[in-house]
Structure 1
Amino acid sequence: MSIVSEEAAQKALEFKNQGNAFIKEKKYPEAVEYYSKAIELDDTQSIFFSNRAFSRLKLDNFLTALEDCNKSIELDPKNIKAIHRRGLSYVGLLEFSKARKDLKTILQVKPNEQSALKALEVCERFIREERFKKAISGDGEESKVNVCASLQLSSFDGNADLLNYKGMELEIVQLTNEKQEPAGAKITNMSQEFVSHMVNELFLEGKNLPKKYVAAIVSHAERLFRQEASVVELDNSSETDVKISVCGDTHGQFYDVLNIFKRFGKVGSNHSYLFNGDFVDRGSWSCEVALLFYCLKILFPNNFFLNRGNHETDNMNKIYGFEDECKYKYSPRIFEMFSRSFEALPLATVINDSYLVMHGGLSSDSSVTLEDFKKINRFSQPPRDGPFMELLWSDPQAGKGLGPSERGLGHSFGPDITAEFLTKNNLSKIFRSHEVRMGGVQFEHDKKLVTVFSAPNYCDSQGNLGGIIHVVPGMGTLGQNGNDDENLTVETFEAVGHPNIKPMAYSNGGLGF
């Protein structure tokens, strides 16, 4: 601990106050910057570290938030806010037993603290489920039934929502296996008219589909995803009238998703879309986004594609709202079906043998190649380490080499790692998402890597643009939003209005702070 002069202490306090002002404006990166300036001048103040921890929590930087909390508590063991934020950091790091201990400490002091109560409920649920898995399997890896592939449609026939449904009807076939057992569903009349009806007459009116229809849509889409490779290969290099549009995170922002199709064109035989993960959680229309995407996959199986993101996983869905939203609008069974369908999503896509598209980042193992990505058995929840997890979680960094991830999962990789991977695998660029970029799209790593994020004004608070990348061989726009590739067009867009429903409106737990 330093000896701090009065002048330094006063200047540090001014930086802290500027950080507080940025917090009020929800400008969390700027808040981190000013709290860091305060700490450089005076590292004796517990509040400086706990405030920076709050900002880092808001940015999902759970590992560095935890480090700040530990330092804050070291300086002041009675700093209740730091203990609370450490508990939330542990939740973000999926270390639920440690989180539970801190949250219980908070509730001894403040028994009615709602965010701690909700986070504790999430921890208890995770811990109970983990114990149950170990009890029934002996090793924590129970054999899961694929509820999409074993769906029995007749089990929904008596539901009131189906009996009262007056909308356009789907024709659904019950599939069976060689033993004549139920084996999922197939929709035979999916149409653009049905999709428009679902969006305009139901979703935009705050109504839901019958659960039988939802189950059939998810079952059919899951089968299509399962038939695809872990790394999908797309090509429009010889078709100048065909466009492939790549979008990043959309996070349940249904009205902004509709705006993407309105502004940039609908899916069709000459316009393919790839949404690069994280289409659920955070926003309060995740069910609507997922069902729209799944219907488009059924209608245009060769022109609509999804990569898996880190939020298409059970742990994230329990913390960030999709599970609770799904149970509120439909049922626990429907959530389980979505969960299995997420396990079938491809992990990456290669476009024109040139562009690798994945949600997170590259492997920390320099020997891992694109061929290794193709061999990943993806039909499960991701592990806590290895290429499978890193494709969903890792982030780029400015400096060379590898570094720790502020998130606590995955790692950070530098421009040299990107360049080496591209050279080794005969690729020209990496497209990835996973992080807010204020301009919607940002070229990084000597323009060999580009981050695209498609949830404008993320969580109704960030003020960022959304971005989209169109792959249009030979017809690109150089210089547009930093673009240096004649085969790309890079566009941005602003958020549109939506009903006054806050993010994670249906969430019963998670990282409330």
Structure 2
Amino acid sequence: MSATEIDILTTIQEDVIKQAEEAKNLGNMLLNNKEYDKAIEAYTKAIELNPKNAIYYANRSLAHLRQESFGYALADGISAVKADPAYLKGYYRRAAAHMSLGKFKQALLDFEYVAKVRPNDKDAKLKYTECNKIVKMRAFERAIAVDQPEKTLAEMYRDLETITIEDDYIGPKLEDGKVTEAFMEELMDHYKQQRKLHKKFAYNILCDIDAYLRKQPTLVDITVPDDSKFTICGDIHGQFYDLMNIFEINGLPSPTNPYLFNGDFVDRGSFSVECIFTLFGYKLLYPNHFYLARGNHESISMNQMYGFCGEVTAKYSRTMSDMFTQVFNWLPLCHCINKKILVMHGGLFSSDDVTLDDIRQIERNRQPPEEGIMCELLWSDPQTWEGRGPSKRGVGIQFGPDVTKNFCEKNKLDYIVRSHEVKFMGYEVAHNGQCLTVFSAPNYCDSMGNMGAFITIKGNDLTPTYKSFEAVPHPDVKPLAYASSFMNLLN
């Protein structure tokens, strides 16, 4: 090769590297502006131009983390480490993705490596120490767990029945131990004033909802009469004031205004306690007209990371946090409306053979497994192309329009409704109208800028109607205020 040819080749390479850097810088700007999809596009262009640069993978990993695409974030963290084993931020990104998926042991290996490479780095040492504490704590919890007949909350915590109510308590009170319409209205007003429900009544509600949910099937059948309206809401994620706005727009729950809330009631938003007691209260008040399904965030690993455990402990106690863990295990996994609409939090399955009867037979009283029907109901997402693929989240699968069509035909359904994903208008219609997504937390985490939405149907006309709404102001308590200190890994 001549000197001229070498010069030309060098110029071309330098130009490519320059273009890649420009794409990365654009991605950084978009990331800072919270335009995550566009940031990912920019980083992807940088990677295509220069696939050996670890920084590009690490930055794209962060953008995926912000979108909760933990599987993609993990893949990019792995790629960053492969591209440059000396680039320590790649290990942090990989660890953050593992932590987000509740895989603390894998995260600990990365923190341990960084701490060894940088023995004088206080931040690295702190992250290793804190992650090690979590791993040991979880190992201890498993070690002390014993197999025994399942007891109800009331049986396990009889000593809490003796809780006294202070004379100066001025909040809502159960009437003869029961939730009433007046109690619910007073409770919501009490919460709007940033006050706390007395722990005795909180304990009573948890015991009652525990006893009720144990008797419910895994798949709940709902009949909506011909001329009746029925409302389906998606993720709430601790955004209490937006929950109140739904009731303002669409009316309070009642026997003539039934609701289904489709999982992820808690975590991230810092008013999760207020949300969950409002939802549990209405379930007890109108058990046949108010429905709750489990989401992937009604689980201990998510609650420990994303704030619910911390919030319950701060507002009540660690004991009450443990009580919630038991109650969440008994939440139904999905609902079938008029035998034509299946509603679940996540999505469909890795097998074409799944029937509604298979779902009915799931043993749900446990923490969600990492594979199988229960896992996929809580974690899966639709994709626009045919077939199935690995999940962008690292858990569950992605399923195409052909999978949805086959499932609906096999089970004689018109369509499915799921939640689980932020959508700009709060909802999305996909798979030729057979896969609807509804997400009811507007401006998710005070940062996404999305609308919230809910779906209404009529019993004699199952055609969905969509209502989008904007976020409303809330007290100055930031999202994730009670989250694990490890959430700073995502920043």
Q: Please report the TM-score for the alignment, with normalisation by the length of structure 1.
A: 0.88
Matched, 1:207 2:212: no
Structure 1 residue aligned with 2:34: 26
Q: Please report the TM-score for the alignment, with normalisation by the length of structure 2.
A: 0.92
Distance 1:449 1:45, change over 3 A: same
Q: Within 5 Å, which residues of 2 pair with 1:114-513?
A: 117=126, 121=130, 124-134=133-143, 137=146, 142-143=147-148, 145-152=150-157, 154-155=159-160, 157-158=162-163, 162=166, 164-171=168-175, 187-188=177-178, 190-201=179-190, 203-236=191-224, 238-240=225-227, 242-474=228-460, 487-512=463-488, 513=491
Structure 2 residue aligned with 1:76: 84
Counterparts of 1:81 and 1:21, CA distance in 2: 19
Matched, 1:113 2:123: yes
Alpha carbons 2:355, 2:411 under 8 Å: kept: yes
The range that moved more, 57-66 or 270-279, is: 57-66
Deviation sequence 1:242-266 (CA, Å, 0-9, x none): 2110011010000000000000111
Distance 1:37 1:239, change over 3 A: same
Alpha carbons 1:63, 1:408 under 8 Å: kept: yes
Aligned counterpart in structure 2 of residue 62 of structure 1, from 70, 83, 101: 70
Counterparts of 2:275 and 2:257, CA distance in 1: 19
Alpha carbons 1:320, 1:510 under 8 Å: kept: no
Between the two proteins, the alignment pairs up a number of residues equal to 478
Counterparts of 1:422 and 1:384, CA distance in 2: 25
The one-letter amino acid of 2:386's match is: K
Structure 1 residue aligned with 2:6: none
Coordinate RMSD, CA, aligned: 2.2
Q: Within 5 Å, which residues of 2 pair with 1:29-48?
A: 29-48=37-56
The range that moved more, 331-340 or 251-260, is: 331-340
Structure 1, unpaired ranges of 5+: 173-186, 476-485
3-state SS in 2 of match to 1:296: helix
Counterparts of 2:415 and 2:480, CA distance in 1: 34
Distance 1:26 1:400, change over 3 A: same
3-state SS in 2 of match to 1:446: helix
Counterparts of 1:510 and 1:296, CA distance in 2: 34
Alpha carbons 1:153, 1:212 under 8 Å: kept: no
Distance 1:467 1:19, change over 3 A: same
Alpha carbons 2:65, 2:73 under 8 Å: kept: yes
Counterparts of 2:145 and 2:260, CA distance in 1: 39
Counterparts of 2:341 and 2:61, CA distance in 1: 36
Counterparts of 2:479 and 2:212, CA distance in 1: 30
Deviation sequence 1:40-92 (CA, Å, 0-9, x none): 11112111111001111112222221221222122222222211111111112
Counterparts of 2:466 and 2:141, CA distance in 1: 48
Counterparts of 2:315 and 2:131, CA distance in 1: 20
Structure 2, unpaired ranges of 5+: 1-8
The range that moved more, 221-230 or 265-274, is: 221-230
Counterparts of 1:118 and 1:370, CA distance in 2: 45
Deviation sequence 1:193-246 (CA, Å, 0-9, x none): 211222213x2222211211111101111222222211111122x430x21100
Alpha carbons 1:50, 1:68 under 8 Å: kept: yes
The alpha carbon displacement at 1:143 in A equals 3.9
The one-letter amino acid of 1:196's match is: E
Counterparts of 2:62 and 2:474, CA distance in 1: 28
Counterparts of 2:129 and 2:295, CA distance in 1: 26
Counterparts of 2:374 and 2:163, CA distance in 1: 41
3-state SS in 1 of match to 2:371: coil
The one-letter amino acid of 1:221's match is: I
The one-letter amino acid of 2:320's match is: I
The one-letter amino acid of 1:192's match is: E
Structure 1 residue aligned with 2:110: 102
Name the one with the larger helix percent.
2
Deviation sequence 1:262-293 (CA, Å, 0-9, x none): 00111111111000000000100000000000
Distance 1:154 1:206, change over 3 A: same
Aligned counterpart in structure 1 of residue 99 of structure 2, from 91, 106, 109: 91
Deviation sequence 1:173-202 (CA, Å, 0-9, x none): xxxxxxxxxxxxxx33x222211222213x
The alpha carbon displacement at 1:135 in A equals 5.9
